[in-house]
Structure 1
Amino acid sequence: MIEVYTDGASSGDPGKSGAGIYIKKAGQAYEYSYPLGNLSNHEAEFLAVLKALEVCQADFPDDILSFRSDSKLVVEAVERNYVRSEKYAPLLQRINEVSAFFPYFFIKWIPEKQNKHADQLAKKGIQLNDSSN
């Protein structure tokens, strides 16, 4: 089983956004930062989970995934398979599609203070927006 910490961040709402992913597996750590363009913070949070699933699909395809996020909106949406705002429905659908490739996929909410590493990586992702042009 691998632990996957995700965070999305925006400088403005909407604004330049980034995704941060921190993965722990068998005593090793893997870090990823992605620029996401101009999005709302909630969109960045959903995309952080989706990007993490895509990383896991490429690099850890047969692992049991235990995701952690400090976004209650995203965790509840995935757990209930429901979003109030139709704006997020395609993101949730894509998360469901990609997570179905894994033998087990769990997600749970954690407080921000337990997600600092992914937060730092998400902020790095915001900065990467400028360098990716």
Structure 2
Amino acid sequence: MSKDKIILDGLEFYAFHGCHPAEEELGQPFIVDAELFLDLAPAGQADDLQATVNYDAVYHLIRETVTGQRFKLLEALAEAIAQKILTCFPVEEVLVRVKKPRAPLPGTFNYAAVEIRRRSNP
């Protein structure tokens, strides 16, 4: 696996995911972090966008997934994002973290989150 990566950190979207009726009705913010592992040497040496993954395209794919579909579980949302990235872009591995800052939990906390790591099929 390449140690190079493209990082998208703190992408915030308003969406309607969750198991509780209020979450599905009112919605809430979700924050997504994604790390795409791939060899960045060709792009660095050629200074050519065609030799890398365009992070603007990744952003739009994540936004479309978060806001265009509904999931009960953060696990399902993270899995959908990871699988779409692996399908659409030439990456070896992807790490996806989905944060839910307004999770229906008592007390004070920053967020509830799920983090998954998936590899492309060789």
**Fold in common (TM above 0.5):** no
TM-score, with structure 2 as normaliser: 0.38
Larger helix share, 1 or 2: 1
TM-score, with structure 1 as normaliser: 0.36
Q: Considering only CA atoms, is the larger Rg found in Structure 1 or Structure 2?
A: 2
